Structure 1
Amino acid sequence: MSPAIDALPCGEGPVRGSTYVPSTPDHVLWGRLPCEADDPVARVEPGAEVTFDTLSHEGILEDQGRDPRAFFGAHDVAHVLDDAVALCATDERTHPRTFGVDGPHVVSRPVHVEGARPGDLLAVTVRETLPRVPYGVVSNRHGKGALPGEFPLDGAPVFSAFASVDDTGTRGQLPLVAGGERLVEFELHPFLGIIGVAVAGDRRPHSVPPGPHGGNIDINLLTVGATLYLPVQVEGAGLYVGDPHFAQGDGEVALTAMEASLRATLQVDVVPHEDAVRRFGELAGPLAETSEFLVPTGMDEDLDVAVADCVRAAVALLQARWGMDPSLALAYLSAATDFDISQVVDVVKGVHARVRKSDFARVDR
């Protein structure tokens, strides 16, 4: 185990938030997202910080043996999280899930935010991300990813690459060849792939495709300091998180990126409808914000449609925020804004734009 990162079992180590949600079996769903009918595991006031333990699905799935001690033991891992072992030991009565039908993700049960109503925005700001383990997994499986039918090679059902963390705790490592000692290194930027709000009704959505509720949006800009705005669907919002990453490239082309468990602290705030419209216009889906960018999104099974939806969302944002003429807004976006592919592997593909806030400094004066 790398000395730079100590394991963080549930209930141990630093907890920043005033409310703590562990990833023990009674606090999570597996493969489905919360809906209005799900009872909250906690209730908080706007402005509160909530600390979630999150659990990666890699190393616990059925096609990896559903035995994390055996899976990670093969890579000489000294400590496997007890909550991973406990979840794998549950049965259909407590965690109904059908492999290959339901999603793979372990997702927290919902947190009720007082005063959040449909039409408002839930503002979720990432305050802290702490690695719970010094390793992760990148997988390619099920004929998915960006190159289905070509990978995994040799017709294997699943290829799982074990990724370690270097002694500084800031870089991931993959071998150049299987079993080799030469390593490829890359920067770590921990974030949560799933941040969402509960949907109306009593049917839990599949955990894979993202949507207006957020969910599995996989936007790697959502690191510490970033805020995600989500249109509230039900009273109390029903905030949930999951799908922790240590790193991900835009696109996430293999199917997963460096999936690894995190302890994440999020601050929750409510933006009333009128204020939300004044600041951002009428949002049909998630909007992110960093210190540098406003990040509108577009999502659809067709990547071309996702791009078009993202462009429309960006034009509407420029109109609402700065009163920009829509034709000039489109011209500005073409000249100055990057449209990035968030991911192409979650059935519903995602695109996000990076609108540089400093470009409008003179307008804001």
Structure 2
Amino acid sequence: MATAANSVPHPTLISVDPFVPADQQKGLHNRWHPDIPPVATVKPGETFKIECVDWTGAQIGNNDCEKTSLDYSSRTAAYSTRITLVGSDDVKNVDLTKVHNLSGPIAVEGAEPGDCLVVDILDIKPFDKMPWGYTGIFELENGGGLFAREFNSKAAKAIWDLNGVYATSRHIPGVRFAGVTHPGLIGTAPSAELLATWNKRESELVAAHADAVPPVAFLPEPKGAHVGQDLDQELRDKIAREGARTIPGREHGGNCDIKNLSRGSRCYFPVFIKGANLSVGDLHFSQGDGEMSFCGAIEMAGIVTFSTSIIKGGVEKFALKQPIFLPSPVDPMYSQKLVFEGLGVDIHGDGKQYDMDATVAYKQAALNAIAYLMKLGYTREQAYLLLSAAPVESHVGAIVDSPNACVTLAIPTGIFEHDILPQPDGLVKRDFGQCAIRSDGVV
């Protein structure tokens, strides 16, 4: 007979409400700083759960101006209704000084500077009460994205319904895929010395590109800073003044948006301060390699289950300048992929030749894929969002043959409910409507 006495649940160390603004909740912070105290402490080997809000802290809604339905009966049927244009003003007006909202820090007993913190990501799932997520294209002047300048980006978004392992969207019809859930952002706290290094080098970068739009880096900003703990005001002001923004990844991990860091992964993080002070957030239901639209994953709020251990002196033992990890043993099975090639030449722009530039090559592969998807009937915005959110794979094909780096981008054909392969008679173009755009209709 089952007994409660022998069934001890894993404790939830941080609880949040995904529908309440992050700056009104405890156990959250949106700056990196060594002086942020841990909200809980765990022993090595202990399994525990952490609840997380979405990265914006409840600024983005599952909203439509008008509801419509979509009717199709088979993988090849024509779509008989149209998607109503809906508002993405919440994306347009998002306050980026308040992101990312991380749960933590969590201290691990016995962790010391120079050690390696081993983190097992045992599970990640959305809240039962919030079975949806979103993908967004951000404004050129407020966030940007990979093609912010090329597209003069205007706000758009897709809402995704999360049903078990699958995601579908009323804003990008004809697509269904299994998610690769992962934390977009996870890392240990920096030391005071490392924090100063980050702020110095990023300040120098901004000074060298002072007029860049979008900015080349996001420097410390007291406005919007949040530490959901009862702190002395002097300490709170110091954290707000000095704390590193959570937008980029750095030596400690942070916002690296690696989609294969999924449930079942094991991560090895360098430890910079006593206790390591692990924080996590920016949970994703799915993402393509590159997360190209800035808010390019299926962003969600949810629950992460962790276990940790420590390898003493691991930084020296493993030459651990940045985290390393073992990918998840659980991955969607999409064997057939349509692969687009990109070279280090701005073929879609002014034709400029670059010298072994993998970023340019990735962009060209993505633009080739977007152009192809538009031939199938998707709008540019829908294609941009889809490539950001779906389990798209990108690889460096070659980075040795001067002057052209070669990067590939592969779209699983099995995520579509219709045939997308090249045919002798050309591609069948359908009308898939449009994703959520601004209330003024500008795209």
**Unaligned stretches of 5+ in structure 1?**
1-13, 77-97, 294-302, 307-337, 342-350, 352-365
1:123 to 118, 123, 126: 118
User: 1 CA distance for matches of 2:45 and 2:284?
Assistant: 25
Count of aligned residue pairs for this structure pair: 246
User: 1 CA distance for matches of 2:289 and 2:260?
Assistant: 10
- Partner residue of 1:198? 189
* 1:38 paired to 2:36: yes
Q: Kindly tell me: are residues 305 and 234 of structure 1, through their superposed partners in 2, closer, same or farther at Cα, counting changes over 3 Å? A: farther
- 1:183 CA drift (Å): 3.0
8 Å CA contact 2:158, 2:171 repeated in 1: no
- 1:19 CA drift (Å): 4.8
Secondary structure of 1:37's aligned partner: coil
- 1:130 CA drift (Å): 2.2
- Partner residue of 1:285? 322
8 Å CA contact 2:118, 2:269 repeated in 1: yes
1:162 to 159, 163, 167: 159
2:48 to 47, 50, 55: 50
- 1:147 CA drift (Å): 0.6
Please tell me whether Structure 1 or Structure 2 has the larger radius of gyration of its CA atoms: 2
Secondary structure of 1:109's aligned partner: strand
User: 2 CA distance for matches of 1:115 and 1:109?
Assistant: 18
**Unaligned stretches of 5+ in structure 2?**
1-6, 18-24, 68-93, 193-238, 331-355, 360-392, 397-406, 408-443
- Partner residue of 2:370? none
Letter of the aligned partner of 2:37 in structure 1?
Answer: D
Identity of aligned residues (%): 28
- 1:277 CA drift (Å): 4.3
More deviation in 144-153 or 196-205? 144-153
Letter of the aligned partner of 1:190 in structure 2?
Answer: T
Q: Kindly tell me: are residues 251 and 17 of structure 1, through their superposed partners in 2, closer, same or farther at Cα, counting changes over 3 Å? A: same
- Partner residue of 2:381? none
Letter of the aligned partner of 1:147 in structure 2?
Answer: F
* 1:252 paired to 2:317: no
- Partner residue of 1:18? 11
* 1:99 paired to 2:95: yes
- 1:195 CA drift (Å): 0.8
- 1:174 CA drift (Å): 2.3
- The within-5 A match list for 1:1-365 is 17-23=10-16, 25-29=25-29, 31-33=30-32, 35-57=33-55, 60-61=58-59, 64=60, 68=61, 71-72=62-63, 99-100=95-96, 102=97, 104-132=99-127, 133-143=130-140, 144-151=144-151, 156=154, 158-166=155-163, 169-175=164-170, 182-201=173-192, 203-256=242-295, 257-273=297-313, 277-278=316-317, 281-290=318-327, 340=395
User: 1 CA distance for matches of 2:66 and 2:133?
Assistant: 11
More strand as a share of residues = 1
| TM-score for both structures, normalised by structure 2 | 0.50
User: 2 CA distance for matches of 1:254 and 1:162?
Assistant: 15
User: 2 CA distance for matches of 1:15 and 1:134?
Assistant: 27
**Cα deviation per residue 1:26-79 (whole Å; 9 max; x = unaligned)?**
1111x323x221111101111112211011135833xx5xxx5xx547688xxx
**Cα deviation per residue 1:82-132 (whole Å; 9 max; x = unaligned)?**
xxxxxxxxxxxxxxxx934x3521111311111111111111111111221
- 1:339 CA drift (Å): 8.1
- 1:304 CA drift (Å): 5.7
User: 1 CA distance for matches of 2:358 and 2:276?
Assistant: 28
Secondary structure of 1:163's aligned partner: strand
User: 2 CA distance for matches of 1:199 and 1:59?
Assistant: 23
User: 2 CA distance for matches of 1:215 and 1:240?
Assistant: 9
Secondary structure of 1:183's aligned partner: coil
- 1:292 CA drift (Å): 6.7
Q: Kindly tell me: are residues 15 and 54 of structure 1, through their superposed partners in 2, closer, same or farther at Cα, counting changes over 3 Å? A: farther
**Cα deviation per residue 1:162-200 (whole Å; 9 max; x = unaligned)?**
11124xx121112466xxxx4311211111111111112
Secondary structure of 2:26's aligned partner: helix
User: 2 CA distance for matches of 1:213 and 1:254?
Assistant: 24
User: 2 CA distance for matches of 1:75 and 1:152?
Assistant: 27
User: 2 CA distance for matches of 1:221 and 1:121?
Assistant: 20
| TM-score for both structures, normalised by structure 1 | 0.60
8 Å CA contact 2:134, 2:159 repeated in 1: yes
